Amino acid sequence: MKIKIIENRKKFFTFSTILVVLALSALVFKGVNYGLDFTGGNLIQVKFEKTMELKELNPILNEISKEIPQLDNNSRKVQVSDDNVVIVRTPEMSEDVKNNFMKTLEEKAGKYDLLRSDKVGASVGEELKSTAIIALLVGLILIVGYITIRFEFKFALAAVLALFHDVIIAVGGIALLGYEVNTPFIAAVLTILGYSINDTIVVFDRIREVLKKKKVSTLGEAVDLSVNQTLTRSINTSFTTFLAVLAILIFGGASLKVFITTLLIGVLIGTYSSIFLASPVIYLLDKDEKLSDIGHN
Amino acid sequence: MRKGYMYRIIFVAIVVLSAAWFTVTKPVKLGLDLKGGVYVLLEAKPEEGQRLDNEAMGRLIEVLNRRVNGLGVSESSVQKVGDKRVMVELPGITDTEQAIDMIGKTALMEFKIQNADGTLGETLLTGGALKSAAVSYDNLGRPQISFEMTLDGATKFAEITRNNIGKQLAITMDGVIQTAPRINSEIAGGQGVITGNYTAEEAKNTASLLNAGALPVKAEILETRSVGATLGDESIAQSETAGIIAIGLIAVFMVVFYRLPGLVANLALVCFGLITFATLNFFDATLTLPGIAGIILSVGMAVDANVIIFERIKEELRFGNTVMASIEAGFKKAFSTIMDSNITTLIITTILFTLGTGPVKGFAVTLTIGVLASMFTAITITKVLLRGFTMLFKIDKPSLFGVRGK
């Protein structure tokens, strides 16, 4: 098997462009479904002793909302899973109001076991957004710095382009799925950053080596040769990581679903971009110089 | 070279055995999301003109600690987060209402002169001036409340008492009078007693209220999270299943694809697991749900380092080099790739750790430890084992490395 990256680069660029446009439109038209950590509010998760259905629960909540306006149909989100586990999200409630709600719920809907109760202030959510953006920017700057030192700026540029590509597609994918995102989502996006760059660098490393040894006469050939030499490794690594991520997705429980799905998209798209996007971009950036200076270091 | 190799075997054996010992003898500390409990994040809100310095924060933490100890939770923790926030963790607590109520009481204690008509004068001192209060007994064995002021508070308190002898000094909590003892004399030195017709029970309650309520600065609850024990147990069970299946699948894949090195990689993976857990233990890190995800993910990355090395070895074998020479060259050439790719991951985990909050921090810690452990196992342990097997069984067939014969 021999993949001709440079020859087919336009196809890959087109494919990536389509994906990015799709992801961006998902972000613009559908938007990210921000969860409690970002918006602030209350969340309670209870496990009823009996099976509970939305049809049964909603009128009860409507009833309670006469006393507690936060439970109004427009401001609450209710979710039923596993037949008897119910998650209710509301705008911020004080401790007293929440306790009152919990008591009334037990009276009207039946006995339950409190699994989780979270409350996040709105200011904390705002902070989280700005921290996430700072983290992303600082991460990018440091990575550009590191790659520029170890390789050269063109490589850093190509890697960062691939990174943006991966992150946009992953975030857009989650927006499209409509999953609710919380703090772990930020961790997942930053991990994609790490993973994607990890994958890209293995290919770059080979390009640098091929260039140094002057095995080929043009950069295009160097890119093709390097990608093909590292292809088995790229696929095997992605496959093993994919296995790990898939196992958590299937058996790891609901609380990790968004986190892991984000990683899953990231691993797949990160593998693709390191092979089919980052490498031909280097070729584009360096087209006229035939061979990068890196061979002379 | 033989001697150097012996030393390396001994070194690896010591590392792995001590890691195993560490892992077995000390259980990993579990986070609140895994064992259940209450998490509260508070932020100090200084009033106008009030300074929020280290001392005030220190006092706030002290008071919160006292409140938390009042709940009788073992392994509770009160930690400063950033400049003006305090994080309280109460593992294993079931009565979350009571806990949040107790910690979150924003009561601000104030000292005011009570006029004859019962009205209150202006605030003279706040709870920040009070260091501690306790029940003591007078000569006749009647319960009273003795208290101690801070250095700063003592000076002001002396002045107030000197100027108001004979009047009643009201101690209010959120504007409600708790007690209003008569000032009998100037109280210098910051130590005094409040007498009254207290029962032992009343005295104890008032003392603990003074202690608990003595917030030097208002604190507002920003965030509370409580996780029931059931959910925690489920999470642990689910992540164990996920972990075992993930590792099992990877192990099978490695043996099928890489044969002998695959087997070695699996042994190295076991060592990786031991070292990771031992390191977590050593640093007293707390394992959270995202933390477990970090470990499982680093298993994937640990395998990557081995894959990079083995692919290199296979390349060398295809060139027709001997097995031993290929192993040497493979490790040598893979080294810089492994370094570069892992350092970028470490850059990310460092940012996550620095900027992240609770769960993200946990993830960053385990991923960092995982990446470092994977580098160590891939570069050192895999090498020692692979060379050992090759020498011991005099292996010279490239097919055992997954390379098809020509």
Minimal Cα–Cα distance from B242 to chain A, Å?
Answer: 5
Could you give the CA distance from residue A153 to residue B291 in angstroms, rounded to a whole number?
34
Per CB-CB distance under 8 Å, the chain A contacts of B221 are 95, 119, 121
Please tell me whether the interface predicted TM-score (ipTM) of this complex is above 0.85. Answer: no
Amino acid occupying residue B99: A
A47–B351 C-beta distance less than 8 A: no
pLDDT higher than 60, residue A44:
yes
Per CB-CB distance under 8 Å, the chain B contacts of A199 are 341
- When CB atoms are compared, the residue of A117, A124, A142 closest to B226 is A117
Cβ atoms of B364 and B235 within 8 Å: the answer is no
Least confident span in A46-55, B15-24, B61-70? B61-70
Q: Tokens standing for A72?
A: 């109004």
Summarize pLDDT for B88-129 with one digit per residue, the tens.
888 887 777 777 777 766 556 778 888 878 788 887 887 777
Cβ atoms of A239 and B253 within 8 Å: the answer is yes
B344–A194 C-beta distance less than 8 A: yes
Summarize pLDDT for B76-89 with one digit per residue, the tens.
888 888 888 888 88
Q: What is the pTM of this model?
A: 0.79
CA distance readout (Å), A108 to A56, A57, A71, A97, B399 = 11, 9, 15, 16, 70
Could you give the CA distance from residue B336 to residue A209 in angstroms, rounded to a whole number?
11
Q: Tokens standing for A181?
A: 């995102």
- When CB atoms are compared, the residue of A120, A243, A250 closest to B250 is A243
CA B154 to chain centre: 37
CA B193 to chain centre: 40
Q: Band of the pLDDT at A297, cuts 50, 70, 90? A: very low
Could you give the CA distance from residue B282 to residue B269 in angstroms, rounded to a whole number?
20
pLDDT higher than 60, residue B146:
yes
E-assigned strand segments in B92-142: 109-114, 120-126, 130-137
**Axis-axis angle for helices B382-392, B323-355 (nearest 10):** 160
Could you give the CA distance from residue B73 to residue B36 in angstroms, rounded to a whole number?
13
Q: Give percent above pLDDT 70 in chain B.
A: 93
- Best mutation target, A166, A243, A262, to test chain B (most B CBs within 10 A): A243
- Best mutation target, A134, A167, A190, A206, to test chain B (most B CBs within 10 A): A190
pLDDT higher than 80, residue A265:
yes
pLDDT higher than 50, residue B219:
yes
pLDDT higher than 60, residue B406:
no
Residues paired with residue B81 on neighbouring β-strands, in sequence order = B85
**What per-residue confidence (pLDDT) applies to B107?**
58
Mean per-residue pLDDT of chain A: 87
Residues paired with residue B193 on neighbouring β-strands, in sequence order = B146
Average pLDDT over residues B337-362: 84
Q: Band of the pLDDT at A156, cuts 50, 70, 90? A: very high
Could you give the CA distance from residue B340 to residue B60 in angstroms, rounded to a whole number?
45
Mean per-residue pLDDT of chain B: 83
Cβ atoms of B374 and B298 within 8 Å: the answer is yes
